[in-house]
Amino acid sequence: MKDFLPVNMDDMKKRGWSEADFVYVSGDAYVDHPSFGPAIITRVLENAGYKVAFLAQPDWRSDKDFLCFGRPRLGFFVSSGNIDSMVAHYTVAKKRRNSDAYSPGGKIGKRPDRAVNVYCKKIREIYGDIPIIIGGLEASLRRFAHYDYWDDRIHPSILISSSADLISYGMGEKQTVEIADRLANGENIRDMRDIKGTCYLCDVRETPYGGAECPSYENVVASKREYAVSVRIQQDEQDFFRGKKVKQKHGSLMLVQNEPMEPLTTEELDGIYALPFARTYHPMYEKDGGIPGIKEVEFSITHVRGCFGACNFCSLAFHQGRYITSRSKESIIKEAELLTSLPNFKGYIHDIGGPTANFRFPSCKGQEQRGLCKGKKCLAPKPCPNLIADESEYLDILRTVRNLPNVKKVFVRSGIRFDYMLEDKSEEFFRELVKYHVSGQLKVAPEHCSAAVLDKMGKPHIEAYIKFVKKYFELSKQAGKEQYVVPYLMSSHPGSTLSDAVELALFIKQQKLRPEQVQDFYPTPGTISTAMFYTELDPYTLEKVYVAKNPHEKAMQRALMRYFDPAVGELVEEALIKAHRTDLIGTSPKCLIRGNPKFRNNNNAKSPRSKNKKNSSVRGKGHEKKKKK
């Protein structure tokens, strides 16, 4: 087993260190696997020659854990971990979760809410003006003034609320090493104002020239329209090729986001995944039952970064970027061979994927000359005429890995863009995906069926999904396999009215789906959809957007997606009456529920009060299996 980084003073002494150069503080338990952001950043720093200690889930209620390594020579890197601490702790209904996949034994409560802020303030209390660099998803997505769903108000940039010195936004490897090198050379962190992929604060009198300026923090607090405008500016400048500096005034301070850092090249990406990861959680967690979050990714391979799909409800475009960079085939094969040598390997590689598994290249040739198009999407509402859909290289990788010694099966479990698959002129990838790489059920994400809602989601219209499903079952039959599609569906996304929810229920019935549980839209920082939720405006048109915010209406939209469940019958009946669709209450084949006869064909009837307000927050399970004869 590869050595883990030091997690206490004894580990440091065994390495002969009197001090660490950097302490990396994480809200997650310590898992040294390349699917975990903190593991990548710490290994990158180590590879650059720095002594790095790992402080995992410190007790923020005392100073003890923050003192365990002593004062680092150069500074602290701070992250909430792989995911946002508030999302880790709370459901979309703002109820406390029962478990945390990134904590020992799945136990909740091992990190504070708003972990980055809490950790940084504790470090400031103890170490004064020591350099603090924040990164990871929580910091990256909160770099500007942002809507906070849990407080239901606008928060300032996390650089202000945390008292950190710099934000490293995006994936972070290049800027992390540059920051470390400049600190090691004696440069003051407050003078580091030219590093791409970082944000800093300065006096408004020192504001740099050029770039784009957002409405100020004070203005976005006062005006939802101004907030929508600010979000569009921020989203539009995230392309590394053409993106400009973005500035936002906070009182007497100016937040400056420097231009995005260039993505890693294929050679650089190969180098990252060749670093000496232990590929598991630290042994200190064995007594607690390990870290649940490793199970899904332990035998998975990341082959690509970036996603030009850029759905409006997804934070990937704002954090990881739309530009695609991929690893070489040789690097992927080498990692697959490494997996087969691990003691727990049973012959199954769970995924060769990424944000979108079947992307390997930029969506068109023009991106190399001008970057990705501002304000446009490559796949929605229809595929761009310049789109190049070619899955041949990805297919070649899958073929090679599945034929390696000791490999029984290679699955593709991360996101597949079915609309992109349909644009590929060759059916080879589709055929072999169905034949070799599906574990009985393929998960895809149509999300909704209403064109109006899908447009607000930045998703293709439902005709693409219907065409895909038809082909999927046809190819499954040809391969002699009984396989199913598990469609992810979302309720209450901005733009979804009760009538749209009824349309979705009818689609679910027509497709013979039985989603066991469904997902409400979750307004997380850094997405266009969250801006719509808060402002009830489309940031790109400034037109009004309908938003279901009332918990009871959201419950009705959820219930319609499970119209077949007697437990939600009263809610479904109430929703159909409110939507003036009592024609769907009755005994005919087109009806969704039987319901109360007095409400049939009576659009003016009063709604019954529902007693069922139970919230489900897990996405659904797909097609009903046919009974075997």
Range 259-280 average pLDDT: 97
User: How would residue 608 be classed by pLDDT, with cut points 50, 70 and 90?
Assistant: very low
Band of the pLDDT at 615, cuts 50, 70, 90? very low
**pLDDT one-digit tens code per residue, 222-257:** 999 999 999 999 999 999 999 999 999 999 999 999
So what's the pLDDT on residue 627? 40
pLDDT band at 517 (very low <50, low <70, confident <90, very high): confident
The answer to whether residues 487 and 444 touch, using CB atoms and an 8 Å cutoff, is yes
Q: Are 190 and 216 in contact (CB under 8 A)?
A: no
Residues 6+ apart with CB under 8 A from 256: 193, 199, 200, 201, 202, 207, 208, 211, 245, 246, 247
- The answer to whether 374 and 239 are in contact (CB under 8 A) is yes
The residue-averaged pLDDT of 416-443 equals 95
Give the pLDDT of residue 518: 82
**pLDDT score recorded for residue 369:** 86
In what helix (H) or strand (E) does residue 225 lie, and over which residues does it extend?
helix 224-236
The reported pLDDT for the residue numbered 190 is: 96
Report pTM. Answer: 0.92
| Residue 470: CB atoms within 10 Å | 10
Confidence of residue 407 (pLDDT cuts 50, 70, 90): very high
Measured CA to CA, the distance from residue 250 to residue 255 in angstroms comes to: 7
Q: State the alpha helices, DSSP H only, in 371-518.
A: 392-402, 418-423, 428-436, 451-457, 462-478, 498-510
Note the CATH number of domain 299-439. Answer: 3.30.750.210
Give residue 597's pLDDT.
Answer: 53
CATH 3.40.50.720 fits 9-194, yes or no: no
Tell me the average pLDDT across 42-55. 98
* pLDDT in the model for residue 596: 64
Q: Do domains 9-194 and 299-439 have the same CATH topology?
A: no
Position 598 scores a pLDDT of 55
pLDDT exceeds cutoff 90 at 622: no
- The string of pLDDT tens digits covering residues 334-369 is 999 999 999 999 999 999 999 999 999 999 999 888
Q: What is the pLDDT of residue 19?
A: 97
Q: How confident is the model at residue 7 (pLDDT cuts 50, 70, 90)?
A: very high
3-state secondary structure of 132: strand
Residue 629 has pLDDT above 50, yes or no: no
Domain spans of the chain, in order of start? 9-194, 299-439, 444-629
Tell me the helices (H) and strands (E) count for the chain, helix number first: 22, 22
CATH 3.30.750.200 fits 444-629, yes or no: yes
Angle at the Cα of 197 from the Cα atoms of 195 and 201, rounded to 5 degrees: 70
- pLDDT over 50 (residue 614): no
